[in-house]
């Protein structure tokens, strides 16, 4: 149980284009999902908290217009990186909050912007 999937696992895009990453909780409902960014050999940096049916809460320094988050259902949250630039290249990981508030992580999406 408690499986979270992400799609795509890897994506390469050109500078200026937008990329959408999906996060799904496969066997449980998650009213809250989280989006993290992780740089090589560094820990997870929380970008935003996504609540089903309401606007996401962004961490300080994270541009909400650049990183669009939509949590349209209890099993799906999406992160769209708009007008991507090479500095947006990173490993993006989502997590879904389980019934006893623990977080289960997806496998991550490696974004490379050329």
Partner 1 sequence: QKEVEQDPGPLSVPEGAIVSLNCTYSNSAFQYFMWYRQYSRKGPELLMYTYSSGNKEDGRFTAQVDKSSKYISLFIRDSQPSDSATYLCAMSASSASKIIFGSGTRLSIRP
Q: Which residues bind partner 1 (CB under 8 A)?
A: 2, 4, 6, 32, 41-44, 46, 49, 91, 93, 95, 100-108, 110
Q: How far is the CB of 44 from partner 1 (least distance, A)?
A: 5
Contact 79, 35 (CB under 8 A): yes
Q: How far is the CB of 13 from partner 1 (least distance, A)?
A: 19
Q: How far is the CB of 49 from partner 1 (least distance, A)?
A: 7
Q: Are strands 76-81 and 57-58 parallel, antiparallel or unpaired?
A: unpaired
Cβ proximity to partner 1, 77 vs 95, nearer residue: 95
Contact 94, 48 (CB under 8 A): no
Cβ-based neighbour number of residue 76 at 10 Å = 17
Cβ proximity to partner 1, 57 vs 82, nearer residue: 57
Place of tokens 């200026």: 16
């Amino acid at each position: 149980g408690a499986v979270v999937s992400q799609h795509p696992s890897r994506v390469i895009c050109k500078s200026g284009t937008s990329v959408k990453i999906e996060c799904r909780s496969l066997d449980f409902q998650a009213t809250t999902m989280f989006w993290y960014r992780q740089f090589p050999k560094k820990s997870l940096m929380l970008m935003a908290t996504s609540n089903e049916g309401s606007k996401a809460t962004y961490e300080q320094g994270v541009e909400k217009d650049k990183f669009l988050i939509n949590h349209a259902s209890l099993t799906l949250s999406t992160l769209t990186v708009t007008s991507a630039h090479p500095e947006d290249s990173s490993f993006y990981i989502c997590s879904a909050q389980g019934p006893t508030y623990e977080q289960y992580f997806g496998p991550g999406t490696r974004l490379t912007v050329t």
